[in-house]
Amino acid sequence: MQIPEDGYLLRIFVGESDRHGHHPLYEAIVLKAREVGLAGATVTRGVMGFGKHSVLHTAKILRLSEDLPMVVEIADALDRIEKFLPLLDEMITDGLVTLEKVRVIQYKA
């Protein structure tokens, strides 16, 4: 797969406890991205964060959260990401989705 130098980065912020069917939401998003042939996806667990309700979630031992922030990043061409957005909209009921233009430096197998 070839990503043009002017690529796009889709970033999806959800909670660790968010679900889609029987799967964690972040996992369902990555599996759907793979199924439709997007270039790649990465999930990162945040150690601290808050969302629109201003509830602080943290990985500190004294306040161990069961709902840490999760960030799914998907890089690909704009047209491919735009085709994925309606699928994503069906999956997410609460979260933040951003899209930004990026310069792809290298993409190798």
**Identity of the amino acid at 96:** L
pLDDT over threshold 60, residue 62: no
Check which CATH number belongs to the domain holding 14 and give it.
3.30.70.120
57 CB-contact burial (10 Å; exposed 0-12 / middle 13-18 / buried 19+): buried
The count of domains in the chain is 1
Residue 109 lies in a domain: no
The answer to whether residue 56 sits within a structural domain is yes
Q: Which domain holds residue 57?
A: 6-103
Does position 86 have pLDDT exceeding 70, yes or no? yes
**108 occurs within a structural domain:** no
DSSP 75: E
Domain assignment present for 1 = no
Query: Does residue 60 form part of some domain?
Result: yes
Residue range 13-59, pLDDT digits in tens = 999 999 999 999 999 999 999 999 999 999 999 888 777 777 777 76
Residue 61 has pLDDT above 80, yes or no: no
